[in-house]
Structure formats: C-alpha cells, structure tokens
C-alpha cells in the first residue's frame, strides 16, 4: 500500500482550469470519489475541492497505474486533455504525499499563507469520505497527524492570526482602493460560509453591507448573526444593485456565471467587483469604470502577505518536516507491535503445551502448574527482551520491512492488521 497525492492549485493551474476541475457540491464529489474507489487500484480516497485547489489523497496498490487512472478520471470529468492535466499536476507519493498533506493542512500551500479555512475544509472532505466508507485506517492515521500538525503550527507561530483568507484579502483590496469607507455600500452575493467571512471583514473595515441571495430566508438568518445592521434585499433586485453600489463581492456555489454582460448598466461612478468564487460568478465583462478582480488577481496582497510571514513560515515548515518524520516512525512502530505480540503469544502457546504435557507424563504435579507456568513466562520475557528492544529500535530504519518479514518467517508468525485508530475529527459520524 502506498500513499498518493495529486494536486491542482493556484500554483500550477490558472482559474479557467480550476473552474473545470472544481466540484460544486457533495453529490458531485461523492460520485467522483466512488468512481475512484470502485477501481481495484485505489483502496482509500479523499477529495478536497476549494476555490484554489483540487486535491486527491489516496492509498493505492500501484503508484504509477493509480496516478494515471485518477488523472484519466479527472480528464473525463473536466473535459480537459489528459496530457495537459498530467503535465500540470503536482504528484506526490508516500513520504512526499504525507508532507504535502501536512503542508496543506497547515495552510502553507494556500494562496494566502496561514489562512484559517483550509483545515476546516480538509476535515469536511475527510468526514465525507469516511461517512460513505471510502476511506479507513490508512488515511485516518494520516489525517489525524495532519490535523495535529496544523494545530502545532497555529500554536507555535502567528500564521493563523490577522486577516488571512481570500475573503479578507478581497476586502483589504477594496478598502485600499476606496480609502475612506465610511458610508460606502458594499454588496455581498451569496449566503454561505465565504459570504459570512466577507461580511465580517467588510463590517470591520467600515463598509455598509447589502446582502442578497437566491434564498432570502438563508440570507436573513445570516444577517441576523451580526450585531450591526445588514440590509437584506431580494435577489430580483440584483441588476439595480449592481449599478448602485461601488463595491461588490460575490461568493456563490453556482456552477455558471450569475452576472453577465447584459445585466451590467453604465454608472456615473467607478465600481469594483470581487469574484472569489470558483467557478467564477462573473462572466467576462468589459465596461468603462468597472474593474473586476478574480481570485488570481489578488496576488499583489498575497505576495505582501507572504513576505511579512516568511520567517513564521520557516518555523512552520520545520514543524511540518518533523511531523512528517514522526508520522512514518509511528507507522513503523505499529508494524512492529503485532510481530512482538505474536512472538509472546507463540511463546505462551509453547509454555501451555509443554506444561500440560509434563503434567500428563507425571514429570510435575498438577498443583505446581501455576508456579511453573509463571517461571516459564519469566524466562520467556527475559529471553525476548533484547529482541523486542532491537525490533522497536529498527522500526525507524529503512530495512525494517525486511527484518520484520524475516522474523515472521523464521518464527512462523501470523500477520495481523492493526485495528482502526479513530480520528477525533470523525466523531461526528460515529455518534
């Protein structure tokens, strides 16, 4: 079994390609995950799809064949050519895959370094696969360590503090353009998690917020969670609002553009629209006095963010590197435990048989059974102490698998699968 990670992000693809790769809802994700899982090459799989990335984390039986199969499935889903996807994909296996997972969970691979959303998105992706039976012991172990690594990074650095999300970056850009935001209206389209973050940052930046959504009840519920007044308007007024408000930020889950050229009217003032959705909510629009920013256009603020956080990122990467090595050391120790356990079980079985045979032949008395067995067990424990210590020590070396296989073969030990170590982040589905 090998770990395999296939990654498409803002680093290796443009927004047009990410739009085609994006999965709009859990139903689409589950259908795709099932396609992968049903193939004999893939034993476990998790799919992460956000505005800046599509990540597939899997355990596979054959790395080269599995990565080809997975990219073929992505090509079919996205209608993109296989060769283009294969050339663009960042592909990691085993230690590289684990290191990449830990880096993603710790928000070091994000467009905005240190952004706080990614670990929650990763947990949701993991829970979806776990709930449907598409991942188990192997990925659970990796995810458990990834979330611990992310927590260690947050606790040891300041990367998780301040405005560190695509939503906050868009608002920061808007504030930089507008300057004095007092009395300036900002329109937010959508009532999901990204919109909630957007409203939070708009309010703290001094904007007056107008909120619209196709689901006005959901929009009103969202508005009611804030202490400040949010002006909730019906979705039917979108065309008028687009021409009346200088700042607009949209973050819906629509699979197609909801704002098209024909909806846009001219205005006497400059307008700044921020499309932080993938797929994009705003179609290709050209009009005087209108500037549209997509996710990739926020790179200037992102670059500033990265320079300010460079030193913190070095410390965070050190934590990720250490966590990755500890994870594989731990995996090796798990492989040693059942071998050691079976050595003792085999010895106990021999003791039981030999003591019973000695009693049957009259070599020892029945009433001496327990004392003689305890003596034998003491001899066994002392005899196996050195080999056990050596096995646990060698678990950290590359030759561990060969040594364990040799020991199992020499002593005729049976293999044993470790019971699943439940990840605390999967509790939601186990209650």
- Per-residue pLDDT at 384: 85
pLDDT at 193: 85
Helices marked H in 278-368:
299-308, 310-360
Residue 397: C-alpha distances to residues 141, 329, 332, 341, 409 (Å): 20, 9, 9, 20, 20
Listed by start position, the domains of the chain span 2-159, 169-301, 329-423
Q: Which CATH class is domain 169-301?
A: alpha beta
The CATH number of 2-159 is which of 3.90.870.10, 3.30.460.30, 2.40.10.10, 3.30.450.40? 3.30.460.30
Pairing of β 271-275 and β 290-294: parallel
- Bridge partners (DSSP) of residue 282 are 259
Cα 346 to Cα 414: distance, rounded to the nearest angstrom: 10
Per the document, the length of the chain is 431
With a CB cutoff of 8 Å and minimum separation 6, the contacts of 215 are 191
Per-residue pLDDT reduced to its tens digit, 297-355: 886 666 666 665 677 788 888 999 999 988 887 877 766 777 878 888 888 989 999 99
Q: Which residues are known catalytic residues?
A: 51
* Cα atoms found within 13 Å of the Cα of residue 27, Cβ hemisphere only: 0
Query: Tens-of-pLDDT digits for all 431 residues of the chain?
Result: 899 999 999 889 988 899 899 998 899 999 999 999 999 999 999 999 988 899 999 999 999 999 999 999 999 999 999 999 999 999 999 999 999 999 999 988 887 777 778 999 999 999 999 999 999 989 999 999 999 999 999 888 877 655 567 888 899 899 999 999 999 999 999 998 889 999 999 999 999 999 999 999 999 999 999 999 999 999 999 999 999 999 999 999 888 899 999 999 989 999 999 999 888 999 999 899 999 999 888 866 666 666 656 777 888 889 999 999 888 878 777 667 778 788 888 889 899 999 999 999 888 899 989 999 999 999 989 998 888 887 777 766 655 666 767 777 877 776 544 433 445 555 443 43
Angle (CA) 330-333-338 rounded to 5° is 135
Residue 39 DSSP SS3: coil
- Give the percent of the chain with pLDDT over 70: 89
Spatial strand order of the sheet with 90-93 comes to 42-49, 53-60, 2-9, 90-93
């Amino acid at each position: 079994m090998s770990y395999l990670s296939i990654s498409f992000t803002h680093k290796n693809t443009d927004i047009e390609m990410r739009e085609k790769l994006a999965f709009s809802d859990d139903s689409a994700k589950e259908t795709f995950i099932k396609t992968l899982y049903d193939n004999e090459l893939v034993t476990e799989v998790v799919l992460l799809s956000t505005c800046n990335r599509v990540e597939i984390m899997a355990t596979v039986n054959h790395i080269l064949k599995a990565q080809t199969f997975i990219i073929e499935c992505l090509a079919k889903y996205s209608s993109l050519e296989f060769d283009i996807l294969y050339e663009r994909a960042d592909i990691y296996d085993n230690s590289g895959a684990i290191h990449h997972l830990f880096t993603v969970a710790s928000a070091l691979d994000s467009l905005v370094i240190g952004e706080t959303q990614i670990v929650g998105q990763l947990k949701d992706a993991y829970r979806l696969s776990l709930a449907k039976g598409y991942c188990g012991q192997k990925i659970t172990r990796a995810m458990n360590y990834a979330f611990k690594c992310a927590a260690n990074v947050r606790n040891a650095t300041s990367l998780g503090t301040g405005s560190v999300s695509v939503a906050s970056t868009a608002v920061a850009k808007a504030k930089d353009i507008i300057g004095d935001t007092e009395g300036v209206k900002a329109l937010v389209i959508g009532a999901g998690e990204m919109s909630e973050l957007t409203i939070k940052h708009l309010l703290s930046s001094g904007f007056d917020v107008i909120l619209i959504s196709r689901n006005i009840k959901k929009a009103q519920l969202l508005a009611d969670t804030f202490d400040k007044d949010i002006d909730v308007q019906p979705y039917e007024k979108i065309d008028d609002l687009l021409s009346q408000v200088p700042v607009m930020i949209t973050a819906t889950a629509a699979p197609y553009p909801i704002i098209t050229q024909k909806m846009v009217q001219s205005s006497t003032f400059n307008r700044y629209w921020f499309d932080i959705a993938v797929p994009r909510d705003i179609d290709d629009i050209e009009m005087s006095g209108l500037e549209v920013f997509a996710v990739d256009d926020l790179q200037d603020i992102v670059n500033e963010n990265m320079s300010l956080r460079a030193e913190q990122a070095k410390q965070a990467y050190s934590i990720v590197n250490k966590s990755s090595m500890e994870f594989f050391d731990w995996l090796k120790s798990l492989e040693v435990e059942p071998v050691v356990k079976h050595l003792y079980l085999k010895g106990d079985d021999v003791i039981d048989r030999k003591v019973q045979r000695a009693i049957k032949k009259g070599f020892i008395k029945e009433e001496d059974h327990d004392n003689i067995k305890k003596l034998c067990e003491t001899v066994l424990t002392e005899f196996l102490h050195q080999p056990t210590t050596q096995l646990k020590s060698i678990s950290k070396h590359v030759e561990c698998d060969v040594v364990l296989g040799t020991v199992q073969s020499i002593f005729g030990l049976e293999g044993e699968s470790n019971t699943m170590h439940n990840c605390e982040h999967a509790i939601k589905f186990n209650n």
